[in-house]
Amino acid sequence: MEKDNRLTPVLRHVLVFAAHIVLATILMTFVFAFRSVHDVRFDFVTLFTAGFMLFCLFSVNYLVMAHLGHSDVTSVIMVNIALLLTIVASLLCIFFGQFYVMPIAFLALIIGTDVDKHVALASHFTCVSAIAVCMVLFFYQSPDFTFASVALQIMTLLVNVGMGCLLIFLIRPYSSRLRVLIVASITVLSFGVVGFVSAATVGAHPDVMTMVTVGVSVILGGAISLFAYFCLSPVFERVFNLDTGLRLMELCSFDQPLLKELEEKAPGTYNHSLTVANISERAAYVIGENPVLAKAAALFHDIGKMENPEFFTENQTDGYNPHDELIPEASVKMITRHTEAGAKLLDEKGFPKEIISAALQHHGDSSVGYFYHKAQNITEGSLEETGYTYLGPKPQTKINAIIMIADIAEAATRSVRPSTREELVALVDKLVQQKMNERQFDECPITIAELTKVKEAVVNTLMGVHHERIAYNTLDKKK
């Protein structure tokens, strides 16, 4: 078993590098086909050298992605597809004589908003470098080769590099479509002016017509990139289950079919999830995490309770408790099952992996205390806690840790009903300390300082939810 575990990463790397060979071969085939139209024939050494350079560029980009923690299959496939689309589109522009209209910014937009800024930056430089390699092949035996034209084309590549980097820097992941449109449009127009001015620096005598052509072409290339982003981004979201801003907002909508089903089958759980979502959203915001992702994940964290809603107290309205007829071991299985059932349902419905992980991890491997103590009373002796815990895993992200805290705080507040803010603060402190004693936060990067901010956000949100029940001490003193 250990050998298999050691071989798995190696096999993955081998498959990725094999895919890079295929990508380099595809691009070489495109270049060879385009140049063959003009009766240009490449010798084997030239093609092999260019192909090997492309392979090295793609491989270095993958190694950077692995270093940044994005070597998963989904991210690698998505980045390589975006790279291939951008490079092929740019090659088509070169082939048809529209070199300055290359839509290089598309890669920066799609990877920067849907994956990661650092990955987008590395991929952007990889893309421009690959285009430069292909550009050399297009100049090979070309009668139109002049140093002035080459200088102008290199200058255009540099303008595209700057435009892509600025777009990556300005447009945050999870940005709304409107923000992307406004920021990208302003950036593209600005770099159109940069292209216009830069064209004047090439050659001893600036050609106004060339300056206008370059400036307009850069704007046109940026506009095509933006159009392609809006057209293909929803496709990437669905195919790769990405948690983009628009996708998350769609999942947070009350028109979402799964939320409607939860409201119908388990109304108590539905209302509990709404409160947990509000708490998680606020807590995520104060520690710099994505609040929309936290809200969406919290809305669906208990979706597995739809399977047997009557076994959870928030859905028991007629005084009947089915656990009264079950032994503690059976009750624990019914209770703990909802995490796996929820993750499975969300996976079947094609939800992003971050939301699936919240459904699976929001209880970690905590004990189901009530039924454990009930079993102890029945056996009248010591009892191992092993069979009375959730299956885990523990929260792996800060957002999942937030949802764990919000979940237990909301449930405890409904049960204990604190009457003052101080009592609520003490209750939340006790609950978080209990989870820390159980080492539930050991596998996620949340800090003590962040936990303090999360606790404050939880208290403030619950004060707003239960404002009629929980009074401030100042008001008590006035009475």
Confidence grade of residue 201 (pLDDT, cut at 50, 70, 90) = confident
Confidence grade of residue 5 (pLDDT, cut at 50, 70, 90) = very low
Phi, psi of 420 (to 5 degrees): -135, 165
Instruction: Give me the pLDDT at residue 226, please.
Output: 94
Does residue 51 have a pLDDT over 60?
yes
Instruction: Give me the pLDDT at residue 38, please.
Output: 67
Instruction: Give me the pLDDT at residue 407, please.
Output: 96
- Name the nearest CA neighbour of 99 among 239, 171, 229, 199: 199
- Name the nearest CA neighbour of 64 among 79, 54, 50, 52: 79
Instruction: Give me the pLDDT at residue 472, please.
Output: 53
Cα–Cα–Cα angle for 90, 244, 120, rounded to 5 degrees: 40
Does residue 478 have a pLDDT over 70?
no
CA distances (Å), origin 423, targets 70, 419, 463: 43, 7, 11
The number of residues in the chain equals: 479
Confidence grade of residue 7 (pLDDT, cut at 50, 70, 90) = very low
CA distances (Å), origin 280, targets 242, 293, 456: 20, 9, 12
User: For 256-385, where are the alpha helices, taking DSSP H only?
Assistant: 257-265, 267-286, 291-299, 328-348, 353-361, 369-379
Instruction: Give me the pLDDT at residue 204, please.
Output: 53
For the question of whether the overall pTM of this predicted structure is more than 0.95, the answer is no
Spatial distance between the Cα atoms of 336 and 328, rounded to a whole number of angstroms: 12
Q: What is the mean pLDDT of the segment spanning 162-185?
A: 85
What are 244's two structure tokens? Answer: 């983009």
Confidence grade of residue 140 (pLDDT, cut at 50, 70, 90) = low
Q: What is the mean pLDDT of the segment spanning 215-223?
A: 93
Q: What is the percent of the chain with per-residue pLDDT over 90, rounded to a whole number?
A: 54
Spatial distance between the Cα atoms of 198 and 244, rounded to a whole number of angstroms: 35
Does residue 450 have a pLDDT over 90?
yes
Residues of the chain with CATH 1.10.3210: 245-478
Q: What is the mean pLDDT of the segment spanning 171-193?
A: 85
Instruction: Give me the pLDDT at residue 321, please.
Output: 81
Instruction: Give me the pLDDT at residue 245, please.
Output: 73
Q: What is the percent of the chain with per-residue pLDDT over 70, rounded to a whole number?
A: 88
Q: Is the dihedral of CA 94, 95, 97, 103 positive or negative?
A: negative
For residue range 278-333, list pLDDT tens digits in order. Answer: 999 999 999 999 899 999 999 999 999 999 999 998 998 777 888 878 888 888 88
Does residue 272 have a pLDDT over 80?
yes
Instruction: Give me the pLDDT at residue 1, please.
Output: 35
Instruction: Give me the pLDDT at residue 368, please.
Output: 80
For residue range 407-425, list pLDDT tens digits in order. Answer: 999 999 988 888 889 999 9
For residue range 23-45, list pLDDT tens digits in order. Answer: 999 999 888 887 777 666 777 88
For residue range 330-363, list pLDDT tens digits in order. Answer: 888 889 999 999 999 999 998 988 999 999 999 9
Instruction: Give me the pLDDT at residue 312, please.
Output: 92
Count Cβ atoms below 10 Å from residue 95 Cβ, excluding itself: 17
Instruction: Give me the pLDDT at residue 172, please.
Output: 74
DSSP letters along 78-132, please?
HHHHHHHHHHHHHHHHHHTT-GGG--THHHHHHHHHHT-HHHHHHHHHHHHHHHH
Paired with 389 in beta bridges are 367
Give the residue, 185 or 244, on which the prediction is more confident: 185
Q: Mean pLDDT for the chain?
A: 86
Confidence grade of residue 166 (pLDDT, cut at 50, 70, 90) = very high
Does residue 466 have a pLDDT over 80?
no
Q: Which CATH architecture has domain 245-478?
A: Orthogonal Bundle (1.10)
Instruction: Give me the pLDDT at residue 474, please.
Output: 45
